[in-house]
Structure 1
Amino acid sequence: MHPTPTPAPTFFPREEQGYAGDVTPEQAWQWVSAGDAVLIDVRSDAERAWVGEVPGALAVVWKQWPGMLLNPDFDEQMRAAAGSGQRVVLLCRSGVRSIAAAQRATQLGIEAWNVLEGFEGDPDAKAQRNHTGGWRARGLPWRQT
């Protein structure tokens, strides 16, 4: 008799780092699809317009292009997007800015999770994104306008 393999974890608590934790793109989509979380895209307006977006995701910019200055309305917009006690999953390009946004959302009293790999994933051996990870490369819903 062979033991049943333990499934790979799909979320990773990070409370000691100031936010709920990290979640795989697939787990984030599962939560959103089930109504267990709100997907919030913290990329700049330009990134969403030029690179693509997830249908139904709410846009709450963390840093705005050009200049990548912090969004002065982030707190107010995040509270409005999260609603009353709803878990949020935060998506950026690579899963880095969304950590800072998740830490701030947590300070606001919101259960905030960072989506690992982000929308475009990490650069591959040729320094190109969208090939080895990220929301798009994993075949999750997205569109380009």
Structure 2
Amino acid sequence: MASSPANFTPADGYAGDVTPEQAAQWVASGQAVLIDVRSDAEREWVGYVPGAVPLAWKQWPGMAMNPAFDEGLRAAVPTGGKAVLLCRSGVRSIAAAKRATELGIEAYNILEGFEGNPDADGHRGRTGGWRFRGLPWKQN
């Protein structure tokens, strides 16, 4: 199903950027698969989105590239399907969306990520992000 231009902002190297709310709507309606590209440690300590596919772009410690990323992405997103990618603040997910696009997947970056950008005091989770927007999430 093609998206209307009102639903996303086109980007260079991948399909575009979407708000957390738009991504959540696509996932809830079965139009997209949510891929959480944060490290296992981030999901464990900070929180996760129920139903998201946990597939780290880079892994802690050292933030080394995940050699199984391509294979995991291909397994998670059906042929012809759409992926929305989530990281902490919407930066790593851009790189992951570009890689997904290279693999032939219609990929979107979720703006603001899970925690959003730091506020004036350097704290995340107070100015934007999936969690801040009141979308579904859990914490262990």
TM-score by shorter chain over 0.5 = yes
Relative to the length of structure 2, the TM-score reads 0.94
SS at match of 1:20: strand
Give yes or no for the alignment of 1:13 onto 2:10. yes
CA displacement 1:44-77 (0-9 Å, x = unmatched): 0000000000000001110000000000011100
The gaps in structure 2 that reach 5 residues or longer are: 1-5
> Aligned letter for 1:64?
Q
Whole-angstrom CA distance in 2 between matches of 1:10 and 1:76: 28
SS at match of 1:22: strand
RMSD: 0.8
Whole-angstrom CA distance in 1 between matches of 2:105 and 2:76: 10
1:74 match = 69
SS at match of 2:14: coil
Give yes or no for the alignment of 1:51 onto 2:53. no
> Aligned letter for 2:38?
R
User: How do residues 57-136 of structure 1 correspond to structure 2 at under 5 angstroms?
Assistant: 57-136=52-131
**Structure 1 runs of 4+ off > 3 angstroms?**
none
> Aligned letter for 2:26?
W
